[in-house]
Chain A
Amino acid sequence: MQTGEVVLAARDVSKSFGAVQALRAVNFDVHRGQVTTLFGENGAGKSTLMKILSGVQRPSGGEIVLEGRPITLNSTVEARQHGISIIHQELSLSPNMNVRDNIFIGREIMGATGVNFAEEERQTAALMRELEEDIDPLTPVEDLRLGQQQIVEIARALSVKSRILIMDEPTSALSATEVEVLFKVIRDLKARGVSIVYISHHLEEALQITDHAVVLRDGEMTANAPRAEIDLEWIVRHMVGEKYDLGTPPTGHEMGAPALTLRGLCVPQGSGLAVDRLNLEVRAGEVVCIYGLMGAGRTEMMECVAGRLRPSAGEILLHGTDIAHLTIAQRIAAGLVLVPEDRQRDGLVQTMSVGGNLSLASITRFTKRFMTNRRAEAAIVEASIRDVTVKTDGPDAPIGALSGGNQQKVVIGKMLATHPSVVLLDEPSRGIDIGAKGEVFRILAERAKQGMAVIYTTSEVGECLAIAHRIIVMRRGRIVAEFGADTTKEAIMAASGEARVA
């Protein structure tokens, strides 16, 4: 068996859900001891293909070939018996159980007197050493940071001695140093002959680790090449089918008076401070990007300004008035809104329609004496759908039927429908494809031109340089650097304390 030889292959695999064709005759090769990365926008069919390869779903057509023999995978258990494991994008750990029990859940090592916890613990400790992560096997998973939880998930896949490991967005919650560790682990795995299938929205990062690239678009494979022949531009061109542009800072309008001012803002977290005496001033019409690693205090700062968290000290001034004592509803009425980071958890009401979600924050605008006015609501919803260009069957479509990017536009549209003067967006581009990213930034830039103050956070340096007039770098709850739009990625990353990746 040679490195680089095709170990697992999908041949003309198709998958349809009712009338929707998710995959059309896709051919996909996994090479022994190498990393194959699957690129594609949301809804391109990446997850569906991975679910088929890992036995979660069965294809409607085509076949899966493992080492030259066609196989059928009826469940994840069967896939695992063939040596195929998947690490899901959404973690599937039990938060109330400890690391050891999570790793060995469902396949406990049995001794004469029941589960052999000592042996499990020893193996867990060995895995953690291998992953260079200082985690006690007896720590409950809920006490770990998100990045560490991801490491546990990876450890679990490693512990079953997989030959083929599918990683669906493994780095989305990791800090730069943790990504480095992960990449080192991946290289070790390759050396041992393990084949890796890698999915990531973080294109630059994926390019560092991959040996082969496969691009999917609308359920079809559009390109396929070894690493040596491709670059970032090639991937993006095949993903979106055109050149992409995240936009430039809006110009040609006057910056107004300070819209949002933070003075000495502190937000407590445990015994310490998540946000430590932070000062910030954003003017009307200005776009400010806040860059920082996970845990830098960006989310806490935004949630505190929006009213979900209470500050322990400091002032929050909206157009010069202190709003620190107002409720979330009062802040929205005063013109300050937050688009939260996690749209599934904090942004959308999954049981409601697209229209119901869009109008949720502006209920008072179409209510008179407790009664809602359907016509007024429909007008607001129609305007929002147009405004933020949501692609949907109509206001009554279930929210779950939209792609990630369109769901994000609904969350943004919901808050913009309240006519805010200051909008905070926490990671507005997370988990959405490049096309949608560009549109989101275009919408924000337009609003800024009309005098809205826009503050957004991001973990991707490239997005700092999109539409922001000013880039602020946060680290451990404080602002450590401030740049104009003419700065470079390297300068921003150095200021954030990020070990420079490549």
Chain B
Amino acid sequence: MSEIPGETKMAETTGKPRARGGFDIAHLLLEGRAFFALIAIIAIFSYLSPNYATIGNFLIMANHVAIFGLLAIGMLLVILNGGIDLSVGSVLGLSGVVAGYLMQGVELEWAGVILYPPVWAVVILTIGVGAFVGMVNGVLIAWFKVPAFVATLGTLYVARGVGLLMTNGLTFNKLSGTEALGNRGFEWLGFNRIAGVPIGVIVLTLVALIAGFLLMRTAFGRWLYSSGGNERAAELSGVPVRRVQVLVYMLSGVCAAIAGLVLSSQLTSAGPTAGFTYELTAIAAVVIGGAALTGGRGTVRGTMLGAFVIGFLSDGLVIIGVSSYWQTVFTGAVIVLAVLLNSIQYGGSGKRG
């Protein structure tokens, strides 16, 4: 057994040109696996249920996907950096609570007034909270060298705990605001539609486009891919690896906060337990989308496909009336299959021929 690490290393470093078939079906299927999986899911459920393949249902499902999708984009940035962010589910919950808290009005006892911030201010402040938690993660990881898994596990607990403390374990219900106080419009994010498309889906699309642009067309994207692929080499090439790392966790926090806003707006309530275990779904979406957990490989397009695979699969199972216990089993199986295909694609096993 002891030779195995040596073997794989040798395979990497001998620099033998790898055999690359020009056009071959297996390769194509492997590359586009998330896409083909999505097509298969849509085809199967359309066959099983007449209600599945309708525009209305697609938009409803897409609105569900929006929450996971937003988390998954933030998670993708972190995973590209070679890290992991377990705190996103908690940050989602905390953001909803903060938004709810601000919408109820902030009583300033010393001044004897209650402040009702307008909705845009609530949105900005909530996103600020997400960015702050992300910054704490980033600083712990980049400057204090705390392993990402542990640092974000810690903030997972802290953020959830703060959310529970702020609400005493209860749920904020009145998020719609009042005309007189000038803070109406919070439910707009969750309920409104533009040209029939839910705002949540539009938000997801925008965030995905921005993230895609960030990765493909900016210096930051290049820094991120290189520091995730080989941090030491990136550092010696002048990449500000620590700043990139902090920024990546901040962006992940921001994505989680946006998801929290969309979710609490969809529900017009904000509970401290919202987003429980969502971080795992986000990781699953990124992995199904073909990103490597070791960093440096992955795309926004793949991650979006991954999020849609998970969302369309679980909603489809609901529609055809499969028990939610089975849904859990199916989702798990899809994740394992995805990881398996990842290791085949990135040559996890050293032996060839």
Task: List residues of A whose CB falls within 8 A of some B CB.
Answer: 15, 17-20, 22, 42-43, 47-48, 51, 56-58, 60, 76, 88-92, 94, 102, 105-106, 306, 308, 327-329, 331-333, 338, 340, 344-352, 356, 359-361, 363-364, 367, 370-372, 398, 400-404, 406-407, 414-415, 418
Contact = CB atoms under 8 A, between A and B. Distances in A.
B225 A363 contact: no
Nearest to A50: B10
Contacts of A402: 15
Given A57-B353, A89-B10, A356-B225, A328 B236 contact: yes
A57 B15 contact: no
Given A20-B17, A328-B238, A350 B9 contact: no
B18 A401 contact: yes
Ranked nearest first, the 10 interchain pairs of A and B with the lowest CB-CB distance are A18-B19, A92-B6, A351-B296, A351-B229, A329-B238, A349-B229, A361-B237, A332-B238, A367-B219, A349-B230
B15 A346 contact: no
Contact of B233 (A17, A47, A348): A348
B246 to A, nearest CB: 15
Interface string B291-331: 01001110000000000000000000000000000000000
Contacts of B225: 349, 351-352, 356
B10 A308 contact: no
6 contacts: A20-B17, A92-B3, A350-B229, A356-B222, A371-B219, A372-B219
A329 B17 contact: no
A196 B19 CA distance: 32
Contacts of B17: 17, 20, 401
Interface string B145-169: 0000000000000000000000000
B297 A351 contact: yes
Contacts of B353: 15, 17, 57-58, 60
A48 B16 contact: yes
B121 to A, nearest CB: 27
B203 to A, nearest CB: 23
A42 B217 contact: no
A100 to B, nearest CB: 14
A57 B226 CA distance: 32
B10 A403 contact: no
A91 B238 CA distance: 29
A347 B233 contact: yes
Contacts of A340: 233, 236
B151 to A, nearest CB: 22
B293 to A, nearest CB: 12
A90 B240 contact: no
Contacts of B228: 351
A195 B184 CA distance: 86
Interface string B208-239: 00000000011111110110111011111111
A457 to B, nearest CB: 16
Interface of A is mostly: mixed
Contacts, number: 157
Given A332-B238, A349-B234, A17 B220 contact: no
A344 B222 contact: no
Nearest to A60: B353
B25 interface: no
Contacts of B2: 92, 94, 102, 105-106
Q: Which of A356, A363, A401 has the most CB of B within 10 A?
A: A363
Contacts of A332: 237-238
Given A351-B297, A360-B239, A371-B217, A19 B19 contact: yes
A269 B236 CA distance: 20
B195 interface: no
A409 to B, nearest CB: 12
Contact of B10 (A19, A47, A347, A414): A47
Contacts of A47: 10, 14
Given A92-B5, A308-B236, A415-B237, 11 more contacts: A18-B18, A51-B10, A56-B7, A327-B240, A340-B233, A346-B236, A348-B230, A349-B234, A372-B217, A401-B15, A404-B13
A76 B7 CA distance: 10
A102 B229 CA distance: 29
A91 B10 CA distance: 10
Nearest to A15: B353
A306 B13 contact: no
B12 interface: yes
B196 interface: no
Nearest to A80: B3
Given A17-B353, A47-B10, A400-B12, A414 B237 contact: yes
A372 B230 CA distance: 21
A340 B232 CA distance: 10
Interface string B96-116: 000000000000000000000
Interface string B239-276: 11000000000000000000000000000000000000
Contacts of B240: 327, 329
A7 to B, nearest CB: 22
A43 B15 contact: yes
B268 to A, nearest CB: 38
B21 interface: yes
B1 A106 contact: yes
A312 B71 CA distance: 44
Interface string B277-302: 00000000000000010011100000
A105 B237 CA distance: 39
Nearest to A42: B15
Contacts of B232: 345-346
A90 B239 contact: no
Contacts of B292: 351
A24 B145 CA distance: 50
Interface in B1-59: 1-3, 5-7, 9-10, 12-21
A330 to B, nearest CB: 8
A328 B222 contact: no
Contact of A90 (B9, B222, B238, B295): B9
